[in-house]
Chain A
């Protein structure tokens, strides 16, 4: 015979164990995919080349080209998964995602402007800073337009409007670029890729991503309370205005920095929380950490995919995630419509 307290305690231990097991499995997947990513590419090299201290071509390919690719996939995937989970919790809307609400394309516009006017050469940190500013403007605009509790339609419409505007401005930059080569380079930010990035890109984005991740993870308890409604959350002692500022800033930092170095990689923040929600239940706090590791795994897998799919020119990562993610998005819209009617 156990008391209700004991039963509650054992339930909590049970979910903790389950969460820990899930995180462990996801982390193992991330590690395995990292290994595969390291040995996948145009030139075949052994994993051990990563620890080769000589300057052999294999060592350089492993350490200067493939390693940044793996680290960026993990960092970008983790921050996108986490941001998606956090935004869905904050907006209490299953369709919220950095790409769909227009934050990613606004960040891309910031990055393109910095490169277009040559600021990047003078001051490299201007690149992530401008992308973060772009994302911040987009999410801020969305909140101003849609209010605290936007309906599904308002959110999507506002996101489409924002994305169209920023895409048009990026297209303008392509349009006005002096030669075809510059134009094809700007397209990179629209399509997203981890090809031929360097450790410099990783170090450039990392501080912003770490700060953003800390802000997002720290808001888990408040998000849990928010699922009970705004009034209940306030009565439980959570400052909702502070929560919004934390989450908006955190998402902008994390997403902006990722877009600055890898371009727009969409739908990760939408797909990952949805896949993991059945496994962790409907508590946003538990979803945050799982989505972070899950996002890393998904982007790693997609980035291996673009190298294995036999196309003439390597497929862009953002194109692949959109090809998989957009139908998923449509499916979710149908489901949401059915349940909300």
Chain B
């Protein structure tokens, strides 16, 4: 250990926890992005599911856990990352002397970067945190340079009418990419149910699909996205995919989400300019 620390270019490796564990969906993403494969004892289940896990490919071969305290105690990791909703488990584990870091859902891109730095530091790889945060900044700048005067109004509208207001990461990512968030314009702050009539009255340019429901996963609320009021009321609204894995958590998905939102905004802008010029 000591020898390798002396040879390694980074200073923090000597203190780096050898065995880390994640017991939450979003903790998975930061651990996958910033830890060494060999460092990871196990990840929370769903880490290999491409619909909700951006780095699902990297999770291959890593054992999964169900987020139970007893699994953590049995595995004896050096460091555990838990999620916003794991307050009780976190407290419980701390009583047993386990080192747990609870990661809240970031609501802004600044908070994403802070979390990235923090987790990278804890994992003993601060340089990876700097790199990822730098990547996020670079994508923000790139997106800004492509945003023109025509900013489309878009909305992430999920099955059963769920949407995201101004105090959410979704809003921050859309804004960075150059899309105005309809839910925020209509006064919503948090993630909330937004009635269909508000959507029709708001006349968004773009409906953003979370891509969580395919034909293989039919669900009750899937039908709201094909409600006749949307077809008739928003006939010109474009539909684009903005997958849930991009914006559910902060991490390696954040630069991809900014670029994805920006690509959608850019396509809309190009079309708007073309149609104004009279071309099809």
B278 located at the interface, meaning its Cβ lies under 8 Å from any Cβ of chain A in the complex: no
B200 touches A121 (CB 8 A): no
Is B197 an interface position by the 8 A CB rule?
Answer: yes
Given the known A-B contacts A42-B195, A181-B221, are A188 and B229 also in contact in the complex, defined by CB atoms under 8 Å? no
Q: Distance in Å from the Cβ of B216 to the closest Cβ of chain A? A: 8
**A244-281: contact bitstring with B at CB < 8 Å (1 yes, 0 no)?**
00000000000000000000000000000000000000
Interface digits, B148-190 against A, CB 8 Å rule (1 contact, 0 not)? Answer: 0000000000111110000000000000000000000000000
Given A55-B235, A118-B218, A195-B195, verify A64-B159 contact (CB < 8 Å). Answer: no
Question: Is A181 in contact with B218, judged by CB distance below 8 angstroms?
Answer: no
Whether B197 and A65, one on each chain, are in contact in the complex, defined by CB atoms closer than 8 angstroms, is yes
Are the C-beta atoms of A43 and B221 separated by less than 8 Å? no
Question: Number of B residues contacting the other chain (C-beta, 8 Å)?
Answer: 31
Cα–Cα distance between A286 and B52 once the two chains are bound (Å): 58
B220 part of interface (Cβ distance < 8 Å): yes
Query: Between A and B, how many residue pairs show CB distances below 8 Å?
Result: 86
With A and B bound together, what is the CA distance between A301 and B93 in angstroms?
51
Contacts of A55 in B (CB 8 A): 232-233, 235
Question: Bound complex: CA of A105 vs CA of B218, how far in Å?
Answer: 22
The CA-CA distance from A118 to B215 in the complex, in Å, is 9
In the complex, are the beta carbons of A57 and B212 less than 8 A apart?
no
Cβ-defined contact, B232 with A64, below 8 A:
yes
A64→B229 contact, CB < 8 A: yes
Say whether B220 contacts A60, CB under 8 Å: no
Q: In this assembly, does B219 line the interface, its C-beta being within 8 Å of a C-beta of chain A?
A: yes
CB-based nearest A residue for B224:
A196
Chain B CB within 8 A of A313 CB: yes
Asked if B201 is at the interface (CB within 8 A of a chain A CB), the reply is yes
B190's nearest neighbour on chain A, judged by CB, is A312
A221: min CB distance to chain B, Å:
42
Instruction: Note all chain A residues with C-beta closer than 8 A to B222.
Output: 121
Cβ 8 A contact of A185, one of B52, B192, B221, B233: B221
> Is B212 touching A181 in the complex (CB atoms < 8 A)?
yes
Q: How far is the CB of B276 from chain A (nearest CB, A)?
A: 22
Q: Inside 8 A of A200's CB, which chain B residues have their CB?
A: 228
Identify the B interface with A (CB < 8 A).
52, 158-162, 192-193, 195-198, 200-201, 203, 212, 215, 217-224, 227-229, 232-233, 235
Besides the known contacts A55-B233, A61-B233, 8 further A-B residue pairs in the complex with CB atoms under 8 A apart: A42-B198, A55-B235, A57-B201, A61-B201, A64-B227, A179-B52, A181-B158, A181-B162
Question: Top 10 nearest A-B pairs by Cβ distance?
Answer: A64-B229, A60-B233, A185-B220, A118-B218, A185-B221, A196-B196, A43-B201, A121-B218, A61-B197, A115-B220
